[in-house]
Structure formats: structure tokens, C-alpha cells
Amino acid sequence: MKKILSIISFIFLISSDSLALIEVDITRGNLDPLPIAVSPLHVDIKSEDFKGLKIKDLGMNISEIIEKNFRSTGLFNPLKKEAFVQKPDIAHLKPRFEDWRLIKAQALVTGKLLIKDEKLKVEFRLWDLTAAQEMTALAFTTTPSNWRRVAHIISDKIYERLTGEDGYFDTRIIYVAESGPKNERVKKLAIMDQDGFNTKYLTLGNELVLTPRFNPTNQMVTYMSYFRNMPRVYLLDIETGTQEVVGNFPGMTFAPRFSPDGKKIIMSFAKDGNSDIFTMDLETRVVERITEHSSIDTSPSFSPDGKFIAFNSDRSGLQQIYVMRSDGSNVKRITFGKGIYGTPVWSPRGDLIAFTKMHKGRFYIGVMRTDGKGERLLTENYYQEAPSWSPNGRVLVFYRETKAGEKGEGFSAKLWSIDITGYNERKLSTKTDASDPSWSSLLSK
């Protein structure tokens, strides 16, 4: 009754406010990527030389990185520069909006840069061309060798302004670089910028290394190594290169991940053929048992609030995904679909769990809600697994292997990414074959 009254009063208000106001519902639009023009950044003529940098090209290079980032999202359509109508410096002062609208751009990025006293100064503006307004503008100062990161940070700021979500360009991906024949693979830890540049190797390849994962501040990595033929979980400080075994377990430890506060490592420990989940506090070194079951419990992943843990277990006979409280209580199976499920990873937003599914000889990467409902399979292939979330929870990176022939020929392992919408599947560029990716959080946050 109350409802009806309020609705009636609402209608009354509307009609008294504006008599017979015409209302038209717009329920459709186009889902084409937003056309955006990224003008080359103007290079200030007063710029001084800096070793190893082609300053003249820097403005163009930064704009091209931004364009590449945008194109990779599938949400933007960076327009061809040949059609650009204004010089970078003039456009940056005040664009002739009509002219830019002519080439069908809806947004415009302009900027300029100056290198002076060994410092790179970059500023950029984002313009809404239809409203003829500036949407955002920022300036940065940094060391010139950081120019690629500047391009990524600018991309993040624009992405954030145009989509309402955080960006994910100023990030790195740690992964396992692979080389050699399939039955004698050499594996090294490698780290690269999200766009495939600045690859650095963190181990030499003398021993097998697997499943590296970042901590929340991106300074530390936990991974598994077969150093001295003892498969154990290790901790590596990226800046100093120091590494150490995590815990003194009398057997194999594997499948490590950090807790969301970075203080603990959660992992599996295998003893007498049985794998259970444990945590170790990095400061106090206190080890805590989380699961105790005669089945295989592995691939644990914390929820972002640290209150829950998702993992996979074959306690029902085949591998399925379970969720429990972080103390190990209240274990609930959440996957009941056909096929077997593994590698659950909680999204940074906390609302979804990404997973690998195997069914009838095919492998899928998918997402589901944390209660297991609303399963959406994003991609299907011969073999793929190990999804890792972009920091804004919009994109998953995973690795995919191809079929091998008689002698292992035709085999490859590559990193791929896909939006959680299931669109925009892309192969990441890596210098070598690659597997086990882990996406960092935003470096500049």
C-alpha cells in the first residue's frame, strides 16, 4: 500500500513538475571501441640529450605505447595518426575540437615533454571532443630512463577516467620462461612489463622452477624450486636477489601464494603421498595446518579480505573446487558441473573465482561467483590453465600449451589474456616460451 502511494505521489510530482514531459527510452547503443586520438607528445626544443635515448622520437614513442595499451583492452580504438590535423604542440594548448571531431575521434590525448637536468618532465591532457572540454590533466617528473613507465601511467590515468575502473598498464608479469625440448625443458623465473618489454631473468635455469607469485607490494616472489633435487617453496626478494626456503618441511612443499596482507604464505605440503594445505607466517615462522584430509588438497588461494580460502581437492573422487574459512573450518564444495575443476583464484574485487576446467579432453578457463554459481567459461583449448587476475579484476592471464608430435615437435607454451567478458583474447609477447604467469598489482599505487 505504501509503495503504491509513493509511486502515485511520484507520478504526481513528475507531472506537476513538468507537464507532459516527453520521455524517450534509449536502450541500445553501439559497443564499438571508443575512437580515441593519441597525439604524439610534443618534445620541447630546449630538451637536453640523455644517454641512450632518442629524444626526438620520445614523444612519438610514448604515444605509441599508449595506443598499444589501449588497443590491447579492446575498449578503445586508437585512430591512425596520418589523419591527425593539428601539430602536437598546438593541440596540447587548445585543440580545434571541430577538426578532431571530423576524423570521428571522441577523445583526444595530447602532451609534451622536456628533458632538463637529467630529468624527464611529461604532462598530458585528455580532452572530451564532443563536449569540447578537458577531462583530466597531469604532469610527471622522473628519470628519463623511466619513459616507458610514464607511458603506462598515462595510459592508466586515461583508462581510469574513461572507464571508471582502475587501469592495469603500469604492472609487471612474473612467469616461467621455458626453452629446450619438451622432455628436457629448461625453466627460469622471468619478469617483464605487462606489454612484454624489459624482460629480466631471475634464475639461471640450473634447476626446475615453477609457479612464481607476487606478494601484494610486488617486492617479493614466492615460487617452487627443485634446487638440489628438493622440491620446496622459496621466497625471492626481487630487488636484492636473495632467496630462501620457506619453512623446514620434511617433504615437498608446492603451490605457494601470499596472503592478501603479504604476511603469510599458503601452500601445500606432501607427506607420505598425502597433500594438505598449510600456512606459514613469514615473520614468526609459525606453521599452521589448514586442511587435514586423506585426499589431495592443493592450489589454495585467499579471498582478498583474507577470510576465506579456495582450493582444489579430490576428496569427492575427482578434482573439484572447495571454499573454507581461513582457519580451515566450514569446508564447502562449490563446483558440481560436469568435468573436473582446478586452480581457483579469487578475483581482486572478491566477487569471482577464476578456475581451470577439464571436460572431455578439453581445457577451459572460466569464472564463477564465490558460491560456485554463475559459471562462465571464457575460452576453450587443447591445454590451458593457471589463470591470474589483472589488478583491476577485468582481465585474466593464463598459459596455453599446444599439441606435440612424435619427437615433441610443435610443442609451445605461451601466455594469453582474455577479458572476463570472454572477449578480447590475446597472446602476450614473451621472448621465450612461457608458463605460470602471475600479474603484479599497480606499481605506482
Pairing of strands 42-43, 107-116: parallel
Place of cell 582457519: 327
Of residues 155-214, which lie at the interface with other proteins (CB under 8 A)? 162-165, 181-183, 185, 191, 198, 200-204, 206-208, 210-211
Instruction: Report the candidate in 180, 176, 179, 169 with the shortest Cα–Cα distance to residue 211.
Output: 176
Q: How far is the CB of 13 from other proteins (least distance, A)?
A: 7
Does 45 participate in binding other proteins (rule CB under 8 A)? no
> For other proteins, which is the closer residue by CB, 231 or 337?
231
Of residues 347-406, which lie at the interface with other proteins (CB under 8 A)? 356, 358, 361, 382-383, 385-386, 394, 401, 403-406
> For other proteins, which is the closer residue by CB, 286 or 371?
371
Cell of 194: 605487462
Measured at the alpha carbon of residue 222, what is the angle toward residues 351 and 186, in degrees to the nearest 5?
115
Place of cell 608458463: 435
Of residues 224-243, which lie at the interface with other proteins (CB under 8 A)? 227, 229, 231, 236, 238-243
Question: Total residues at the site for other proteins (CB under 8 A)?
Answer: 126
Of residues 299-358, which lie at the interface with other proteins (CB under 8 A)? 299, 312, 314, 318-319, 340, 342-343, 356, 358
Does 97 participate in binding other proteins (rule CB under 8 A)? no
DSSP class of residue 339 equals S
Among 20, 52, 250, 360, binds other proteins (CB under 8 A): 20
Among 149, 232, 264, 414, binds other proteins (CB under 8 A): 149
10 Å CB burial of residue 290 (0-12, 13-18, 19+) is buried
Cβ-contact 378, 367 below 8 angstroms: yes
> For other proteins, which is the closer residue by CB, 181 or 286?
181
Q: How far is CA 81 from CA 40, 63, 97, in A?
A: 8, 10, 16
- Give kind and range of the element (H or E) at residue 238: none
Phi, psi of 185 (to 5 degrees): -65, 135
From the list 61-69, 79-87, 128-136, 324-332, the region that binds other proteins by CB under 8 A is 128-136
In angstroms, rounded to a whole number, what is the distance separating the alpha carbons of residues 434 and 398? 10
Does 434 participate in binding other proteins (rule CB under 8 A)? no
Q: How far is the CB of 416 from other proteins (least distance, A)?
A: 16
Q: How far is the CB of 144 from other proteins (least distance, A)?
A: 10
From the list 59-67, 79-87, 145-153, 280-288, the region that binds other proteins by CB under 8 A is 145-153
Instruction: Report the candidate in 82, 157, 167, 97 with the shortest Cα–Cα distance to residue 128.
Output: 97
